[in-house]
Structure 1
C-alpha cells in the first residue's frame, strides 16, 4: 500500500513533549487517507466500526480494538458506521524505555478485560489535555502499562474459557453503545435489550468487570465528554451539559464537582488559565 502522504514528528509532536494524544471521529475526518510517518502511532477504537488498512492487510476495527503503527508503516481508515471515534496516541520511541519494535503491526490487539485499555487510553487523554505538573511522567507510566499489556497479548494465546471471552465481548458492545448514545436518554433496560440480555446480567457484568454500575459508567463517560467541551470553551456550561446527556443542571454540577473536585465554571477557568500559561511559556516542565 503506497502512502499518499508522509508525516514527520517535527510536524505533529512538540519537541519538549515527544508525545501527542487526541480524540478524533469521523465528524472531523470522514476518512483517513493512506499515509505514513516517522513516529509510532497507537490507535484505540472507542465507538463504531471501520475498515483499517495497515500495510498489506485489512482489518475490521471496532470498539475495544487497538493497533500499533510503527515508523515506516502505511495505513488508512474507512468508517462503516454513522459514528466512529478513536483515540490517537503519537510518540517518538525515545519518549519511553520500552522496545516498541517488539509489538507487531500486522495484527490487532484487544481490550483483554473489557476495560483496562479503555481506562489507560482515557487517562492518558485526560493527562495530556490538562497538562498538570509532572503530566509527562504520568503519561510515561500509563503508556508503559499499556504497551506491556499489548506485549503480553502478543506472547500469550487467549486461553480463557469461552464464557469469559463472551462476557468480554458483551461488555465491549455495551461500552460502544454508551459511546454512541451518551447524548440520548439511555438506561439499563435499553442497553440490555440492545444486547439481548437481562438488565440484571448487564449490571452484574459492569460491576464485576468495570467496578461500576451501568449508570455510573454512563455518567463517568458523559462527564469526560463534558470536560472536553468545557476545556474548549466553545459552548456555555448549560449547553455543554445538555450536549452530553445531562438534562438536569443541578445534577450535572453535583456529579461534575464530585468527579473533578471543582464546579464546571471553576474547571473552565482553570483550563483557560492553564492554556494561557502554556501559550506564554514555551518550555514545558515535567
Structure 2
C-alpha cells in the first residue's frame, strides 16, 4: 500500500444527521487514492466498472456491486470504463440499531434481489437531498432494510446458484447499458450483442425478471429521466423529450400521459405547484410502479 489519507466524521458528516449520502461519478473524481476513515461507508456501483482495492484484496467492481467499508479499513479505486457512477452512503454506527460489524469488508455483495438495493440506495439519496420532515427517521428505516439484505446475503452459502447469479449480472449489465445510452437510438440487437446473448434471450430475461420487455423498460426509463427534467428545469418540453431519446412528439405525449396520467405540460405545472408531480416520481424510479425485484 502507498501513503494513505485519513478522513474523519467531522469532515463529511453533520453531527446532528450522523449520515451523508451523495451521488458521484468520474467526471468529479478520476480516481480515489488509498484512504481510511472513522465512519462506515457503503459504496454502491450504479454503472461502469472499476478496480476497487479494499485492505489486502482487489475486486473488479461493476454495476450492482456493493462494498462495506468499516471504520479503519483502507481502500482505493480506479475507474476502468469511460463512465463510472456510484452512490456513497457514509454514516456513524450509532445512527442505526444494527451491528454493522457483522458485514464483511473482505467480500463483495451483490444486488441479488434485482433492483431492491438500487431502489433503496436511490430512495435514501432522494430523502437525504430533499430533507423533508422526518427524513432521518425514514433514512434509518431504509438503511436498516438495506443492511438486513446485505446481512442475509452473508448468511447464505457462497455457492449461490450459478444460473441465478449469471442472470442477475446480465440484467445489471443490460440496465447499465440503458442508463448510458437511453439518449440514443437503442436497438435490441445492439444491446444483446453487447451482452453476448441473443435478442430473444434478452427479452426473455427482462420479461422473467422485471415483467416487462426490454423496449418497455427503455421507454419507462426515458420517461423517468424526462419527468426529472420537467420537474427541475425550464427547458421546453420538446427539448426535454429529445434529450431523453424521444424523436416522435406524438408518441412521447401519448406514452407520458399513459404513464403519469397527465400531459407533460400538466405534469410540469403540478410539480412546480407541489400538487402531485414529485409524489408521483417517488413511486416510479426505474420503470414499473413498484420497486423492481428479481425473484431468487
- The within-5 A match list for 1:150-229 is 150-226=150-226
The alpha carbon displacement at 1:135 in A equals 2.6
Q: Determine if contact 2:31/2:79 at 8 Å carries over to the other structure.
A: yes
Distance of 1:213 and 1:135 partners within structure 2: 35
| Larger displacement relative to structure 2 (93-102 or 249-258) | 249-258
What's the counterpart of residue 236 of structure 1?
235
**One of 254, 263, 268 as aligned partner of 1:264:** 268
Q: Determine if contact 1:115/1:209 at 8 Å carries over to the other structure.
A: no
Unmatched 5+ residue regions in structure 2? 279-296
Q: Determine if contact 1:43/1:66 at 8 Å carries over to the other structure.
A: yes
What's the counterpart of residue 257 of structure 2?
254
Q: 1:245 to 1:135 in 2, by over 3 A?
A: farther
Structure 1 residue 36 and structure 2 residue 29: aligned?
no
- The within-5 A match list for 1:271-286 is none
Unmatched 5+ residue regions in structure 1? 275-286
The RMSD of aligned alpha carbons is: 3.0
The alpha carbon displacement at 1:232 in A equals 6.1
Instruction: Encode CA deviations 1:17-44: one digit per residue, 9 max, x unaligned.
Output: 2222221111121112222222111011
Q: Determine if contact 2:231/2:268 at 8 Å carries over to the other structure.
A: no
Count of residues in correspondence between the two structures: 270
Q: 1:225 to 1:137 in 2, by over 3 A?
A: farther
| Larger displacement relative to structure 2 (11-20 or 215-224) | 215-224
Q: Determine if contact 1:226/1:241 at 8 Å carries over to the other structure.
A: yes
The alpha carbon displacement at 1:47 in A equals 0.9
Distance of 1:126 and 1:21 partners within structure 2: 9
Stretches (4+) displaced over 6 A: none
Q: Determine if contact 1:54/1:106 at 8 Å carries over to the other structure.
A: yes
Distance of 1:142 and 1:161 partners within structure 2: 27
Instruction: Encode CA deviations 1:62-116: one digit per residue, 9 max, x unaligned.
Output: 1111101111122112111111111111111111111111111122111113322
The alpha carbon displacement at 1:52 in A equals 0.8
What's the counterpart of residue 48 of structure 1?
48
The alpha carbon displacement at 1:201 in A equals 2.6
Q: Determine if contact 1:113/1:209 at 8 Å carries over to the other structure.
A: no
What's the counterpart of residue 281 of structure 1?
none
The alpha carbon displacement at 1:130 in A equals 3.0
Instruction: Encode CA deviations 1:257-277: one digit per residue, 9 max, x unaligned.
Output: 459x9723543565xxx9xxx
Structure 1 counterpart SS, 2:44: strand
Q: Determine if contact 1:44/1:87 at 8 Å carries over to the other structure.
A: yes
The alpha carbon displacement at 1:169 in A equals 1.9
